[in-house]
Chain A
Amino acid sequence: MDVRSQVAMVFHLDKCIGCHTCSIACKNIWTDRKGTDYMWWNNVETKPGTGFPTAWEDQEKYRGGWELKNGELQLKSTSKAQTVFNIFHNPHMPTMDDYYEPWTYDYQELFNAPPGDDQPVAKPISMVTGELIQIKSGPNWDDDLGGSPIYAANDPNLKGLSPEAQQQLFAVEELVMFYLPRICNHCLNPSCVASCPSGALYKRGEDGIVLVDQNRCRGWRACVSACPYKKVFYNWSSGKSEKCILCYPRLETGQAPACFHSCVGRIRYLGVVLYDASRIEEVSKLPEDQLVEAQRSLILDPNDPEVIAAARLNGIHDSVIESAQRSPVYQFVKVWKIALPPHIEYRTMPMLFYVPPMAPVLSQREGQHLTNVSEDLFHDIDEARIPMKFLANLFGAGVEDGVRYALRKQKAVRWYRRAITVGDVTMETAERMLREANCTPDEAEAIYRLTALCTFEERFVIPPMHREEAIEMMRDPQEHKQETGFGFLHGQRRAM
């Protein structure tokens, strides 16, 4: 057992309202510089939809992530030898056209326009060339366009759905959509790190945050191709790759990342999980249908004395172990099993988990009467407007069981709380539902508490990052403390 600690995340999709506050918070802090203008380290997509960059989930086009070749894990984008030849021209790399050309407006025009009969107009200007542009697409062009034949119909997750099920998604009366906020997953087996020819990408040992060493990056772009989630971006001005840093400067001072902190729907949870690094390779090679459960088995019980001893042996601080014991992520993923990894079939072992969203039922109206109560209390989980197979393609490598389990438990908790607060459902029925959903009243209360009433401290259990230990590497921490804030910083200047 090789115990490591990882700052992991849960996004509760049933609570996401698609307001993009997270994206704006991130953009304002990290990516409003030249060359990063087109990047959205955090973005919110409408599903079904094509996302950002367009159709990022289509790995036949972008060739991100890992694949099994003769029982061995290999990057789908390139073999190790091929990498050298791809340095000059990367064959599967998305270009700016796959994202969008960033633009601003010529606001001066509003003030400087000569008097006339018409309102002056601020014309759109490319932030790359400075020339007037015709805006043809943007970062969120398919926002709320569930049911669109251009966007929703091209969602790669529709593959494997029967024609009827697909039809159902586009009938006007049955239109449905949900939101998928995305940041870097800070994977356990990151393909971006593995692909980097110069070794610039790395995982921080203490918290698992994946970073790009800007001084070491040579702009060879292998990571952009290799990341199946397309969350490594190429800074077209500085000539370096950049990505979500999970706001580590904020985490190091005990604050939640900006997108977490600003989340209006309070859908985001963050906490440490302890995992067994010695089993990552073995687990990454398993057949697709076993991956979700196998990844969960990597996460260790932070209350198990054996795990604690092994963690201490590996130099994990007691304060971090204690933090792992209070981790909301551990509850959602490991104990309740209602949070699932996105596209585990890419085999990168993402450390951001999603609670799948509930959806309205397919309405079956008979005259004036709507019947949705049947002997099988969970029938509407399978008859929800979002086809189970679609969610399974996103959160279960195509296997429906894990998604169904998560949705049944969520529904059982709802009915249980309804029995308590509204009273139109008998407690007997609610308890039967809990039993059938493999849940107890205590667990239901805990899920309810962390879903509906969660405070800041419950959602974000940020471990002490022990920054003083990092500073010790370079200098006397006392001296550093005295001098912090003095000196000169050099910005990213494009090379000659």
Chain B
Amino acid sequence: MSTLLPLLDPLLFSVLPYVSVIVFLLMTIQRYRVRTFSYSSLSSQFLENRQHFWAVVPFHYGILAILAAHLGAFLLPGTVLAWNSEPLRLYLLEITGLVFALLSLVGLAASLWRRATVTKVRIVTTPGDWVVFAMLLLQVLTGLGIALHYGWGTSWYAGVATPYLRSILRLNPESDAIAAMPWMVRLHVINAWLLIGFVPFTRLVHVLVAPNPYFWRKPQVARWYGKANRSHP
């Protein structure tokens, strides 16, 4: 065991990311090719409407904003650091992030409560869904914990997470810095990779479909034998 332990960190922070991303890419494509039908939001609003609003709406807006913030800080760390150079702006960013994180936590908790207590909704909840819910809850909780416990994450993300993610992208993983972080941060990172790897096997594939042609297509859609789809009127 003691001989394996030094291997654990490289495994989790340097190997797991590649396994996850490769699985994600290959299996989502494979699932789309073979089981296109399974790409659905699997909405349960039809079975229960009222609690649905308070669960689904805060969660989605919260998590989308948080994901966008993670992506933004990864792409433009300099901009974030420059923004944060004034305390007032730093506070503003931190509070905004906290609000969205709390939104997603409230939404997630409401979702879990709804899925567990409303019989009709529980019926359409699969074991896979529960795993996804548990992992999402862990991710949001650790994220919130980090934000509250290790302050000014919006700034140190640029110094720790961004270089780590970029090193992975460069196929030259440098995981020392991240592996030296407190356990909550490490858990957040490992769980994130696992979530990405799980996407193709769960209902999470629905994040990959967006109302893409809707905004630039004509209102009506017609399909013809032997002709490319054409719209009318």
Contacts and interface: CB of A to CB of B under 8 A. Distances in A.
B223 A204 contact: yes
B209 A198 contact: yes
Given A198-B214, A204-B223, A473-B225, A221 B45 contact: yes
Interface string A1-34: 0101000000000000000000000000000000
Interface in A55-89: 73, 80, 83-84, 87-89
Given A201-B221, A280-B233, A495 B43 contact: no
A128 B123 contact: yes
Contact of A194 (B120, B205, B220): B220
A56 B219 CA distance: 23
Interface in A355-381: none
A193 interface: yes
A128 B120 contact: yes
Interface size class of A (residues with CB under 8 A): 35 or more
A260 interface: no
Contacts of B176: none
Contact of B46 (A93, A280, A473): A93
Contacts of A448: none
A216 B196 CA distance: 23
A197 interface: yes
Contact of A236 (B41, B47, B49, B60): B47
Nearest to A237: B124
Contacts of A221: 43, 45-46
Contact of A493 (B38, B45, B223): B38
A214 B37 contact: yes
Contacts of B215: 80
B114 interface: no
A52 to B, nearest CB: 15
Contact of B47 (A96, A196, A214, A492): A96
Contacts of B38: 493, 495-496
A470 B49 CA distance: 41
Interface string B41-57: 11111111100110011
Contacts of A495: 35, 37-40, 42, 203, 205
Given A87-B211, A197-B214, A203 B39 contact: no
A225 to B, nearest CB: 11
Given A197-B214, A218-B209, A470-B225, A240 B56 contact: no
Interface in A202-249: 202-206, 214-221, 224, 234, 236-240
B126 A494 contact: yes
B203 A496 contact: yes
A202 B222 contact: yes
Among A205, A239, A494, the one with the most B-chain Cβ atoms within 10 Å of its Cβ is A239
A466 interface: yes
Contacts of A238: 37, 40
A470 B120 CA distance: 41
A15 B155 CA distance: 76
A215 B61 CA distance: 27
A96 B203 contact: no
Given A95-B49, A198-B211, A239 B41 contact: yes
A3 B79 CA distance: 57
Interface in A268-311: 277-278, 280-281
5 contacts: A240-B37, A472-B225, A493-B37, A494-B42, A496-B203
Interface of A: 2, 4, 73, 80, 83-84, 87-90, 93, 95-97, 101, 128-131, 189-190, 193-194, 196-199, 201-206, 214-221, 224, 234, 236-240, 277-278, 280-281, 466, 469-470, 472-473, 490, 492-496
Given A93-B49, A469-B225, A490-B37, 20 more contacts: A2-B232, A89-B56, A93-B45, A95-B47, A95-B49, A128-B47, A128-B123, A129-B119, A129-B123, A189-B220, A198-B209, A202-B229, A205-B223, A206-B225, A215-B39, A236-B47, A280-B232, A466-B225, A495-B39, A496-B128
The 4 A-B pairs at the shortest CB distance, nearest first, are namely A197-B211, A205-B224, A495-B38, A194-B219
